[in-house]
Amino acid sequence: MTKPEPAFGIYIHWPFCQSKCPYCDFNSHVAEHIDQVAWRSAYLAELDHYAKETSARTVTSLFFGGGTPSLMPSKTATAIIETVRSRWKTAENLEITAEANPSSSDIATFEGLAEAGVNRLSLGVQSFDDGALKFLGRAHDSSQALAAITKAKQIFPRISFDLIYGLPGQSEAAWADALKDALSLAGEHISVYQLTIEPGTDFHRQRVAPADPELGAGLFEMTREILQNAGLPAYEISNHAQKGAECRHNLVYWRGEDYVGIGPGAHGRISRPSKDNYDIEMTLAWRAPGAWLGQVQKSGSGLHKRQKLGLSERRDELFLMGLRLAEGVSAERFQRQTGISLEDSLNEGALEALIGENYLICDTDGIRATEAGLLRLDAVLAHLLSSAPELQ
Amino acid sequence: MTKHTHIRNFAIIAHIDHGKSTLADRMIEFCGGLSDREMKDQVLDSMDIERERGITIKAQTVALKYKAKDGETYELNLMDTPGHVDFSYEVSRSLAAVEGALLVVDATQGVEAQTLANAYLAIEADLEIVPVLNKIDLQAAEPDRIKTQIEDVVGLDASDAIEISAKTGLGIEDVLEALVARLPAPEGDAEAPLKAMLVDSWYDPYLGVMILVRVKDGKLTKGMKVDFMAAGAKHQIDQVGIFTPKATQVDALGPGQVGYITASIKTVAETQVGDTITETKRPAESPLEGFKPSVPVVFSSLFPVDNAEFEDLRDSLAKLRLNDASFQYEAETSAALGFGFRCGFLGLLHLEIVQERLEREFDLDLITTAPSVIYRLHLNDGTVKELHNPADMPDPTYINFIEEPWIRATIMVPDEHLGGILALCTERRGEQVELTYAGSRAMVIYRLPLNEVVFDFYDRLKSTSRGYASFDYQIDDYREADLAKVSILVNSEAVDALAFVAHRSQAESRGRAICERLKDLIPRQLFKIAIQAAIGGKVVARSTLSALRKDVTSKCYGGDITRKRKLLEKQKKGKKRMRQFGQVEIPQSAFLAALRMDDN
């Protein structure tokens, strides 16, 4: 039996929203007028640009993110999906996800998205509590959230929704109740994030305080337990799914596989795997929507920066992303991706210390974080990687 | 011996804020030494820090031409003396250069400890002292009560004290007349071999080192070749002059005169206060009495907060020393704080002044370790070692016994705060020598170990008395004491910069206080951290910092990888400012903060 080909994803960034949420630090913009024809051509041109060098790969996932990609005209989504299918080989079970909001204007686009080929919808529900939704600056209320989920379930084979916890004043008991209520609506997948206050957001300017570490830890542990018991174990820090229902596209990021990033500010990672070449390059598109569009129109690509990652940087990325997964960093995959063994890439003393403290587990499968390790993953990574050797 | 009848040399003795500098300004004004335009408040205190703190660090002088009521014109040389306990040797040299002193007392406040200490120095130097009551224009002035106090506490006849207001100018002429009438004229033989006292020196960017001198015998002239007797150095005089208060060149300085010389000297370290200057080809037989090299008594380490500023700190210390030869420094390496300097100072104020000037004039961000005194270690092998840094303390098994320096402290305090002050002195192992009352104020004299005084004593004194107590001290003697070095350990490794020496009765509680403080200052880590205080090998206090509870990024997708990696790279760089203790790395900033809090 031949080994399956590594996964390969394409990310499409639609940068526009109807309004900007106070906690959001993503590359999203509110625009009065969008020249839909120009934007459509730009996406297709950029796809062509990347198809030239990666057409030998088999696309396993396509992801529309944003912004609010459900606001993208279905004609544009259709053209993008058709272009992907024509320029690349695509996997039989090609996953095509779109992010959407539960507002009425979004709900109206669901059918069009499905017709274009979208087979997985990720809804930004965030909460079923109207007070919380208002605090979060969302355009929808709880009844619209319910309607959106119901409609999405009818139209799309796979759905997921996002929830946010750790809002100011939210107790453990209140969150447990909210989560259990939400579970009755959940399908195969759910993403649960703790509210963080990111620089550049309104919440940051308003000095909204995040949950203190003690409460945050309690909420995190409780969330994992409730969802585990409900048959939705965590496969990543904030992502829970039934077995086999994980988001294949996001797994590409966490497993360090290649992806092409298209649209304003989109990142990509492209390697040219061969027997003894483990080079990987990062790509970054122009961030401002106008700048990206203009650059594509002028040169056929919105690429802003492209540079090779050194082996140490590659190692760091594989751990930064891989340890977020329940499965951890796979020894076999790491060897394929870097040409060196997992353990040789680390400082033995630091690894031993973290294992000794019950933060990490290391076995023949690879290295993964324990429950305690996941809870403190940023510090674990800093300890592990800051002592790791320089790799050539 | 000839009397130089038209010269009067005098100093002004006063407590901070009692109006010394304002009085000096008024006298300069009265004698027309400066135009109105040149007159700025407190002409003599030329350093910013001096003006702000109202204290004089360097002795300065001004020669006034005063036409007295008898019709004669007199040369009045005012010697502005350093006004703080740390500089008492410098004060004694200034006083040795004059024949009389004005004792300025605030008529609303009365005699303070510092006034008293300097007045005693003046009495010891056999000076004629003229009491002056300042701020007589204020409603709260009580001249009669203060006169009684001067008689009771200082032991001077205050019946003909001059009542003035330096602020309004009231009584200034009376002061000038009193100087002429009551102070003796200086004596000295103009034909004898040169004998001049080096009163002070400072660095002038244009002229090099300027030396303030008082000629006792003989003449100082331009071009003369001279010997500095204590320093054993030879120089040729470039310039001779007086201050009017502007530096003004003259042909010669004769007996009884006060003025300056320059001699192409590069650093003040080559000039020692109290040294005798004589002529090379016709030297004096013996130097003037009273010379003493200045010796630091308080030691502390200075570290740049940013290690990259180490070289800047080195340069700044060198520049500062151009003008202040009384502090010493040598490079030091600390495992906890990196590269810095161990410095010796004349006292606590001196330490503060140096630190402040480094931060202000040289724009350095500094951390100062807890001040330490010089301990004398009598080792079992019979040798005696001076310990300047607690981190260098040998193992107790090598030590036969330890001696520590004691001081004789004079404290003046209003009655109602006396109890608190006595309790403070007792707590600091003080021994009462004397307790006397003068009106509603008490004067207490205590013997105290200096190491108890360098440890926040002055702040406590001020807070206990609501700022009303004044304090002065002299170094007394060395005494044997039951002292212990307390080491602070993080995960069983000693943090050198936090080590300190304390009396055994207090070692444990101070060690515990630092452990608790560090526990609050060290950020939580992945691993538990044990913080301990130990004496010898024995742990006497401990606290444990538990592992951090939660630290994980909630969202991390394809667009976040680069940012996360760059953040990690920044953390790796930050590691350079971390100190490794077992498995944990502790930011230098935590130790710096622990030391900073010692100040409070």
Rounded CA separation B136/B341 (Å): 48
Q: Quick one: how far is CA B39 from the chain centroid?
A: 28
Instruction: With cut-offs at 50, 70 and 90, classify the pLDDT of residue B425.
Output: very high
CATH code, domain with A223: 3.20.20.70
A306 in any annotated domain? no
Domain limit, last residue, from A208, A228, A252:
A252
A219 in any annotated domain? yes
Strand (E) positions, A106-170? 120-126, 158-165
A3 in any annotated domain? no
- B145 by Cβ neighbours in 10 Å (0-12 / 13-18 / 19+) ranks as middle
A135 in any annotated domain? yes
Pairing status of strand B195-204 against strand B208-217: antiparallel
pLDDT tens sequence across B95-130: 899 999 999 999 998 888 878 878 888 888 899 999
Is residue B599 pLDDT above 50, yes or no? no
Domain limit, last residue, from A215, A230, A252:
A252
In this structure, the answer to whether residues A99 and A224 fall within a common structural domain is yes
Q: Dihedral angle at the C-alpha atoms of B20, B23, B24, B29, nearest 10 degrees?
A: 160
Percent of chain B with pLDDT over 90: 45
Residue A374 is nearest to which of B525, B552, B572, comparing CB atoms? B552
In this structure, the answer to whether residues A337 and A210 fall within a common structural domain is no
Domain limit, last residue, from A194, A218, A252:
A252
- A113 by Cβ neighbours in 10 Å (0-12 / 13-18 / 19+) ranks as buried
A296 in any annotated domain? no
Is residue B86 pLDDT above 80, yes or no? no
Paired residues of A163 in beta bridges: A126, A192
The helix (run of H) or strand (run of E) holding residue A337 is: helix A331-338
- B38 by Cβ neighbours in 10 Å (0-12 / 13-18 / 19+) ranks as exposed
> Are B526 and A359 in contact (CB < 8 Å)?
yes
- Count of all residues that appear for chain A in the document: 392
Please, are residues A195 and A164 in contact by the beta-carbon 8 Å criterion? yes
The whole-number pLDDT of residue B1 equals 64
What would the DSSP string read from start to end of B425-446? HHHTT-EEEEEEEETTEEEEEE
A1 to chain B, minimum CA–CA distance in Å?
A: 31
- Closest-CA residue in chain B for A66? B559
Helix extents (H) in B365-503:
418-427, 450-454, 457-464
Position with higher pLDDT, B559 vs A29: B559
A215 to chain B, minimum CA–CA distance in Å?
A: 9
Position with higher pLDDT, B599 vs B34: B34
The whole-number pLDDT of residue B84 equals 61
> Are A214 and B559 in contact (CB < 8 Å)?
no
Pairing status of strand A120-126 against strand A89-100: parallel
> Are B558 and A253 in contact (CB < 8 Å)?
yes
Which of A28, A249, A255, A321 should be substituted to probe chain B, the one whose Cβ sees the most B Cβ atoms within 10 Å?
A: A321
A285 in any annotated domain? no
Spell out the per-residue pLDDT of chain A, length 392, in tens: 467 789 999 999 999 988 877 777 777 888 878 999 999 999 999 999 999 999 999 999 999 998 899 889 999 999 999 999 999 999 999 999 999 999 878 899 999 999 999 999 999 999 999 999 999 988 899 999 999 999 999 999 999 999 999 999 899 999 999 999 999 999 999 999 999 888 888 888 888 888 888 999 999 999 999 999 999 999 999 999 999 999 999 999 999 999 999 999 999 999 986 667 788 999 999 999 999 999 999 999 999 999 999 999 999 999 999 999 999 999 999 999 999 999 899 999 999 999 999 999 999 999 999 999 999 999 999 999 988 999 98
A321 in any annotated domain? no
Strand (E) positions, A86-148? 89-100, 120-126
Long-range pairs for B359-365 at CB < 8 Å and ≥24 separation? B360/B48, B360/B49, B361/B316, B362/B312, B362/B316, B362/B319, B362/B320, B364/B304, B364/B309, B364/B312, B364/B313, B364/B316, B365/B304, B365/B305, B365/B306, B365/B309
pLDDT tens sequence across B261-290: 999 988 888 888 889 999 999 999 999 988
Q: Dihedral angle at the C-alpha atoms of B315, B319, B320, B322, nearest 10 degrees?
A: 140
The whole-number pLDDT of residue B37 equals 54
In this structure, the answer to whether residues A227 and A139 fall within a common structural domain is yes
Position with higher pLDDT, A91 vs B90: A91
> Are B558 and A357 in contact (CB < 8 Å)?
no
The whole-number pLDDT of residue B328 equals 87
- What is the total count of domains within chain A? 2
| Coil/strand/helix, residue B329 | strand
Chain B contact present for A391, CB below 8 A: no
**A residues 211-230 lying closer than 8 A (beta carbon) to B:** 213-214, 216-217, 220
The whole-number pLDDT of residue A18 equals 82
Question: Which residue, among B506, B447, B481, B495, has the nearest Cα to B377 in the 3D structure?
Answer: B481
Question: Which residue, among A237, A228, A178, A172, has the nearest Cα to B550 in the 3D structure?
Answer: A237
In this structure, the answer to whether residues A213 and A338 fall within a common structural domain is no
What ipTM was estimated for this complex? 0.92
In this structure, the answer to whether residues A95 and A231 fall within a common structural domain is yes
Instruction: With cut-offs at 50, 70 and 90, classify the pLDDT of residue B245.
Output: confident
Is residue B155 pLDDT above 50, yes or no? yes
What would the DSSP string read from start to end of B15-27? -TTSSHHHHHHHH
Which of B545, B546, B548, B557 should be substituted to probe chain A, the one whose Cβ sees the most A Cβ atoms within 10 Å?
A: B557
Please, are residues B62 and B248 in contact by the beta-carbon 8 Å criterion? no
Give, in order, the Cα–Cα distances in Å from B21 to each of A382, B50, B114, B223, B528: 59, 11, 16, 34, 58
A314 in any annotated domain? no
Please indicate, yes or no, whether the overall pTM of this predicted structure exceeds 0.80. no
Look at the block and give the residue holding tokens 């290391």: A362
Chain A contact present for B491, CB below 8 A: no
Chain B contact present for A386, CB below 8 A: yes
In this structure, the answer to whether residues A207 and A354 fall within a common structural domain is no
Is residue B598 pLDDT above 60, yes or no? no
| Coil/strand/helix, residue B141 | coil
Is residue B44 pLDDT above 60, yes or no? no
**Residues near A123 by beta carbon (within 8 Å), at least 6 away in sequence:** A99, A100, A101, A102, A145, A148, A149, A152, A159, A160, A161, A162
Instruction: With cut-offs at 50, 70 and 90, classify the pLDDT of residue B79.
Output: confident
**Residues near B573 by beta carbon (within 8 Å), at least 6 away in sequence:** none
CA distance between the termini of chain A: 33
Residue B190 token pair: 């103009």
Residue-range definition of the domain harbouring residue A334: 328-392
B566 to chain A, minimum CA–CA distance in Å?
A: 9
Rounded CA separation B11/B103 (Å): 9
Calculate mean pLDDT across residues B480-506: 90
B225-245 per-residue burial string, b: 16 or more CB within 10 A, e: under 16: ebbbbbbeeebebebbbbbbb
B551 to chain A, minimum CA–CA distance in Å?
A: 4
pLDDT tens sequence across B45-77: 454 544 444 444 455 788 889 999 999 999 999
> Are A267 and B551 in contact (CB < 8 Å)?
no
Is residue B3 pLDDT above 90, yes or no? no
The whole-number pLDDT of residue B235 equals 95
> Are A379 and B525 in contact (CB < 8 Å)?
yes
Chain B contact present for A307, CB below 8 A: no
In this structure, the answer to whether residues A97 and A202 fall within a common structural domain is yes
Please, are residues B455 and B370 in contact by the beta-carbon 8 Å criterion? yes
Please, are residues B20 and B90 in contact by the beta-carbon 8 Å criterion? no
Is residue B357 pLDDT above 60, yes or no? yes
Chain B contact present for A7, CB below 8 A: no
The helix (run of H) or strand (run of E) holding residue B493 is: strand B493-494
In this structure, the answer to whether residues A49 and A161 fall within a common structural domain is yes
In this structure, the answer to whether residues A16 and A112 fall within a common structural domain is yes
